[in-house]
Amino acid sequence: MDAKKKKVRVAMRRNMSKPPRGNDITRQYAEDAAETEDATSGERVRAKGDLSRHRTITIDADTEAGMPGASASECLPGRVFKVHGLYSYIELGDGRTFRCTVRRLLKSLMTDERSIVTTGDNVWVRPGDETTRTTGADGVSIPEGVIEKIESRHGVLTRASRRREHVLVANVDQLAIVVSLVEPDLKPHLIDRYIAAAEKGQLKPILCLNKIDKADPVELQPMVGAYSQLGIPTILTSAKTGMGIPRLIGLLRNRATVFSGQSGVGKSSLLNAIEPGLALRVKAVSEVNHKGKHTTTTAELIRLETGGWVVDTPGVRQLQLWDVKKEEIEGFFREFRPYVRGCRFPDCTHTHEVECAVKAAVRKQFISERRYLSYLGMYHGNDE
């Protein structure tokens, strides 16, 4: 084998993890036990469970060491600002844009992710020659290339989607949780799930209670106060009247922020109010079911003139946390932390145990009962 090549064991992809199964030999010979002695003993013994869910591939030694698959001189660093279908659009440091595919080796290493590349990724690109160009939607010729390496991520927003990990965006600083007060109706438990997702992805959460022009601000003060006490900036906003927009602009300045929430809550409308030149597409909420329509179809990284970056993401119906153990969930609720040590049992789940300090704090109203119900929903795996 070439000295620069190396064999490594990697986990199989989900759709490749179940080995093909031949005829049921056991059942076949159970029908006639007398023939069992004559059975051929050459059956292959296969490991069971997760131990068998790996395969061997050959990679370049440079790749394992963290170097791009191609030589370093051939590759250029850039950042993914949009993923559309099989292509990723990369902006280099000098402002040039490339439409890129992903090196096949990277796809082979992919296990649980729905897509190996996501918006916000820092990547290394090997440009194609001058003949490898395509024409964009605006009629401008775009050079093509290949993504050779994806840098490690920080600040990610992720969720579970069809038993696989769906990374919505990577390498951002904060998450703007946009919820509408009406049309669609407010879902407090969805807010708590987003806050948990932000804690898991090491993002700073910001809560935007949008469409305040259609609601009574006085009735929302208890909710605003509850989240503000947790250290989460909570803003009453309206793209129509401009309420809360100046404060929101201040929180976005010189930071990378992802806007996320249900369809129809007004994410794109808020961004248009922050910077009218963006001219993002918006749609009215359905008059039939009062739910939003999917207007934004891809997550796109956008530079703001006021400083910083924003990512407008497609709306989600529900948010299910990815790869979270039940024992981890209490750590996503900041208000639980002072009371956890007071529980009688060190492995207390705060669900049914006696002498639980967290449940006692809920009874004394030191912890919001609604937030505690959100914890129970996540602990028991309820989507709502």
In this structure, the answer to whether residues 174 and 302 fall within a common structural domain is yes
Residue 5 lies in a domain: no
In this structure, the answer to whether residues 248 and 273 fall within a common structural domain is yes
In this structure, the answer to whether residues 279 and 206 fall within a common structural domain is yes
Q: What is the CATH number of the domain that holds 142?
A: 2.40.50.140
Using left for φ > 0, alpha for ψ between -120 and 50, and beta otherwise, residue 102 falls in beta
Residue 372 lies in a domain: yes
Distance of CA 303 to the CA centre of its chain: 21
In this structure, the answer to whether residues 289 and 307 fall within a common structural domain is yes
In this structure, the answer to whether residues 302 and 185 fall within a common structural domain is yes
Residue 12 lies in a domain: no
Q: What is residue 185's predicted lDDT score, i.e. its pLDDT?
A: 86
Residue 22 lies in a domain: no
Q: What is the CATH number of the domain that holds 355?
A: 1.10.40.50
Residue 190 lies in a domain: yes
Residue 283 lies in a domain: yes
In this structure, the answer to whether residues 207 and 302 fall within a common structural domain is yes
In this structure, the answer to whether residues 266 and 134 fall within a common structural domain is no
E runs forming strands in the chain: 5-11, 54-60, 76-84, 87-92, 97-102, 122-127, 133-135, 141-150, 157-161, 164-169, 174-180, 204-210, 234-236, 256-260, 300-303, 309-312
Residue 202 lies in a domain: yes
**Domains contained in the chain, number:** 3
Each residue's pLDDT tens digit, 339-377: 999 999 999 999 999 999 999 999 999 999 999 999 999
Whole-model pTM? 0.77
- Packing angle between helix 188-200 and helix 369-379, nearest 10 degrees? 60
In this structure, the answer to whether residues 290 and 205 fall within a common structural domain is yes
Q: Which of 268, 288, 312 is the last residue of a domain?
A: 312
N-to-C CA span, the chain: 54
What gap in Å lies between CA 81 and CA 172, rounded to an integer?
A: 12
Q: What is residue 65's predicted lDDT score, i.e. its pLDDT?
A: 42
DSSP 347-377: T--SSS-SS-HHHHHHHTTSS-HHHHHHHHH
Of residues 50, 60, 159, the one with CA closest to residue 108: 60
In this structure, the answer to whether residues 207 and 231 fall within a common structural domain is yes
Residue 128 domain boundaries: 68-150
CB-CB contact of 162 with 110 (8 Å) = no
Q: Which of 257, 278, 312 is the last residue of a domain?
A: 312
Residue numbers of the chain with a pLDDT score lower than 50 = 15, 17-20, 36, 39, 41-42, 64-68, 286-292, 294
Q: What is the CATH number of the domain that holds 217?
A: 3.40.50.300
Q: Which of 98, 122, 150 is the last residue of a domain?
A: 150
Residue 93 lies in a domain: yes
Counts for the chain of helices (H) and strands (E), in that order: 10, 16
In this structure, the answer to whether residues 81 and 139 fall within a common structural domain is yes
In this structure, the answer to whether residues 173 and 97 fall within a common structural domain is no
In this structure, the answer to whether residues 167 and 293 fall within a common structural domain is yes
Identify the residue whose tokens are 């959100």.
374
Q: State which amino acid sits at residue 258.
A: V
CB-CB contact of 13 with 110 (8 Å) = yes
